[in-house]
Amino acid sequence: MKSIKVLLLLLLVSSCASIRVNYDYDKQTNFNTYKTYNYYSDLETGLSELDTKRLLDIMDANLKAKGFSLSEKPDFFINIQSSEYQNQQSSNVGVGVGGGGGHVGGGLSVGIPIGQPKMNRQITIDFIDENGKGLFWQAVSESGFNPKASPEKREAIFKAIVDKVLSQYPPQQKK
């Protein structure tokens, strides 16, 4: 039983390890001025209602741990958008010709995709200052996605994504 738990933990960690995040920000921004946040009231994440709630709860907990507070009159707003896509399976054909000892030979190989195409999800998180600055920070994450995952697994994946995304906020600016 213990070995099964260890195996499941390793699978979860390895599945979370494939989260890729790209960051961008306005170099002129003084990130120390931002202490309060809120989400747009018409937020359309592209996620199910339950997944949206999971993601926002995890965002709130992470931002609170960083010293930010949710406010009706925030310093900045957060917009979240997501999309799902399938990796294209690669099929390939290889042709080879070779010779040796006076003989010439050739070969042909065909790669056949095995298994189902993998689902991926891209989540874009924008921090927007509506008092003239506009978009000042953005993170785009890409990770594997299992539409049949249990609620616990979904929550664990969202936690890993948010942890990785917000690990680089505020950015380390060069002076």
Which stretches within the chain are classed as H helix?
2-16, 49-65, 151-166
For residue 37, tell me if it sits in a domain: yes
For residue 107, tell me if it sits in a domain: no
Q: How high is the pLDDT of residue 133?
A: 86
For residue 28, tell me if it sits in a domain: yes
Q: Summarize pLDDT for 37-96 with one digit per residue, the tens.
A: 999 999 999 999 999 999 999 999 999 999 999 999 999 999 999 999 886 655 555 656
Nearest CA-CA partner of 142 in 85, 89, 88: 85
Q: How high is the pLDDT of residue 172?
A: 83
CA–CA separation, 88 vs 104, rounded Å? 36
Listed range (44-48, 82-86, 101-105, 123-127) with the worst mean pLDDT? 101-105
Listed range (109-118, 138-147, 165-174) with the worst mean pLDDT? 109-118
Give 13's pLDDT tier (boundaries 50, 70, 90): very low
Contact 15, 157 (CB under 8 A): yes
Domain count along the chain:
1
Question: Which domain does 129 fall in, by range?
Answer: 23-86+116-165
For residue 17, tell me if it sits in a domain: no
